[in-house]
Structure 1
Amino acid sequence: MNVHPLPPSALRGEGMTSQRARDRLASKLKEEGIRDQRVIDVIRNLPRHHFIDQALHSRAYENTALPIGHGQTISQPWVVARMTEALLEFGMPQKVLEVGTGSGYQAVVLASLVPQLFTVERIEELLRQARRRFRQLGLNNIRSRHDDGKLGWPDEAPFDAIILTAAGDAIPTQLLDQLSPTGVLVAPVGSPSSQMLIRLRGDGQGDFIQEELGAVSFVPLLGGIG
């Protein structure tokens, strides 16, 4: 099936999805502590309304998470921005793994900044929709896979950076094994009632430096495929 690129009008949006709405969101992210201008500029220019149901388009540029079906959400823009800048803070990773494609929004933010993005999604329908969006946006540096995200993508390891978009009680060891010795991993960790965004940085000797980046709220990290 051919997937046609989005027309300029769809990228621009109008009313609550217009560039003015995106500019307001970008300003809010900056006010709330996002420092990486590269990340802010990507989010300012990205049509977030393209990643959610049309019934929610009027809320696309609110700084809030929104449902995308199958019990999943598109993350709050501030969280997407914070996780992205946390991955980039110590240098530009060349090869990044995302666990939990979801709507594809976080993947597109990252793929707009890094050379190679690999993303894994356990829910086939969500991945099908995300792939269509990637093609319509003309992105050719994203590779996607329908699989159990907890297993990562061992055939393509090691990765310079790994990002998880769902929260587990701990980081799966399979993912840590796929991180380069000096790589960076950003993930929410904890129970549904108490989650913390953490960053792990490899010290090159097999150990990790762990930092807490703030409280967050994510859907659970589940195994298997659906």
Structure 2
Amino acid sequence: MSSAKDFILEVFPSTVKPELNVKKFVVKDRPSYFVNHLRVPLLSLLISVQVAFISYMYTFKNEILDLHFSLTNSKYRYLVAEILIISSICLVYLRQERKDTLIVMKDIGVQLNSEGSWKHFGNSNERNCFIPQTEIMDLVIHEGFHGFGQVIFYMCILTKTKNAEEDSASNDKNVIKIVFPAFLPRKDILIQVWTQSRQVLFGSSRRYWRRVPGQGLKECK
């Protein structure tokens, strides 16, 4: 049985015009109750508690430092409370809705971005990938197996095979780049994205590539 796949597709700009040079597609989970209603108030409450706690510690720092050995457990309680407050703030702040993004730029290329359920600091090749226009063969929708024999459709970008020297320099031999890898949305969404993406990249021509014996890759229309 296939999964519910209750995702949201956002398209920027929403209008379909052949002269557009940039198109952005975002697939993400439907916003949860936590993100919509609880995240900001809870984060504000935790920050307020942290500020009040710091003010209390600063006001009574002399009394706290003068505690006798019999009351040293109180010092550890203050430390544990501080750690719990800071940890809670970090967890609430770092939590986010996961999403996959496809940005199609005419005559430039394609940018793939993926964001997980937790904010990621720094740049990761696994999460961000730019494919130049000169390396793109075509955008296709394939049928394959996922999980325990589940048949799904997925959209991918076919890139030209690199030679041995380029492969050794880039350490990237994968010529197929899957679009929306975290979600693998349904076929109706993929067809919409595929149609508009190819319109931006290749215009109205039915462009594709095939390997001709003795001639290598040849562009066909």
Q: TM-score, normalised by structure 2?
A: 0.20
Greater relative contact order structure (CA < 8 Å, 6+ sep): 2
Q: TM-score, normalised by structure 1?
A: 0.19
Larger Rg: 2
